[in-house]
A = this chain, B = another copy of it.
Amino acid sequence: VRVGRGALDLLVDDLAARPPGRLLAVVSDSRVGPIHAEPLFRRLRRRGLPALLLTFPAGERHKTRATKSRLEDELLAVGAGRDTAIVAVGGGVTGDLAGFLAATWHRGIPVVQVPTSLLAMVDAALGGKTAVNLPGGKNLVGAFHQPWGLYADPAVLGTLPAREWLGGLSEVVKTAAIADERLFEWLEAFASALRGREPAAVDRAVTACLRIKASIVRLDPLEQGRRAILNFGHTVAHALETVTRYRIPHGRAVALGMAVEVRLAMESTGFPAEHALRLHQLLETLQGPLRWPAGADAAEVARTARRDKKTREGRARYALPVRLGKMAPGSDVTVTLSDSRLMRAIRSLSSGQVPASRV
């Protein structure tokens, strides 16, 4: 893992010094491709490395089995064998899709993750989770496939659209909320610096989040237990994205998901009301008002949440902190809750209530 300004230069040097494959297939989407993947592709070619550029249409709606098949057909057409390596340049969608492509091409070839969105940099690109979506749910088909390397250069974040930047801050907040109360306090203090993408604040947030995620993933690479704490907010977020057919960006869905799930935490893990209020306020400071989308029916979201990968015995499961920066100890960190409790929490948020503070 290489983090910091200049990581992309290191990437080119590393690929030239010890290439992970005889052919480097750079995979990117139609939005990031022209900005970051094409320049990288040209640099690799100038260094004499056999490289190839594959792109697919941008957007979570294209993270599908059909897109993966099309990329496979393109690899086959150029004769890409087991001695190929994938270089995934893009946000979470590209990392998931290109990672899954690498996981199954000839039963597994190396993938180099080059995240270009804040969300991918602090969360998605590390940890080996890869997947595509099904019409009925997110990330339902995929594999664990640890990257050969991860190169996170915050300099690329300058080109990120504002909406994606703010969405990515959701995963930063989540990381602090589950693992590091001091980081959470720092986020509260530096919220406007982060909104404004001040380099020093951005670098610190990215480095802190990557360090936390790496320590969690190292202990439980296959998510057999404790790693599930990273899913705080995500049971609701994934269901919301599915129900709205990915019209809501992932980062926004995670913010709404945490706002709902922290209400569940207040009821079921004793999460302090004043902490819930702080979380709610930090999310609104960073992202603007947390408005539940009008078309997302609470009952339908609850039904969809039951199809989530975390489902056990037909009931949705949630990874809920016990207070800011702290999850329950042990390896069984998720709780089962009924549809009606989830629907109540969604209705509380969508009616505009904030968590009551006891302070």
Give chain A's interface residues, CB within 8 Å of chain B: 22, 65, 69, 72-73, 76-77, 79, 81-83, 100, 103-108, 129-131, 134, 136-137, 139-144, 222-223, 306-314
Contacts and interface: CB of A to CB of B under 8 A. Distances in A.
Contacts of A107: 129-131, 139, 142-144, 223, 309
B312 A143 contact: no
B76 A22 contact: no
A108 B143 contact: yes
Contacts of A65: 65, 69, 72
A76 B104 CA distance: 21
B81 A311 contact: yes
A257 to B, nearest CB: 19
Contacts of A313: 22, 83
Contact of A309 (B82, B103, B130, B143): B82
A310 B82 contact: yes
A7 B342 CA distance: 46
Contacts of A81: 307-309, 311-312
A144 B309 contact: no
A134 B103 contact: no
A238 B199 CA distance: 54
Name the residue in A104, A108, A142, A310 with the highest tally of chain B Cβ atoms < 10 Å from its Cβ: A104
A129 B107 CA distance: 8
Given A83-B313, A107-B309, 10 more contacts: A65-B65, A76-B140, A81-B311, A81-B312, A103-B143, A104-B143, A105-B141, A106-B141, A107-B143, A107-B144
Contact of A79 (B131, B141, B307): B307
B140 A72 contact: yes
Contacts of A134: 72-73, 76
Nearest to A142: B107
Contact of A82 (B104, B143, B311): B311
B76 A106 contact: no
Nearest to A223: B107
Contacts of A76: 134, 136-137, 140, 307
B312 A83 contact: yes
A314 B142 contact: no
10 contacts: A22-B313, A76-B137, A76-B140, A81-B307, A82-B311, A103-B143, A105-B141, A106-B309, A107-B130, A143-B143
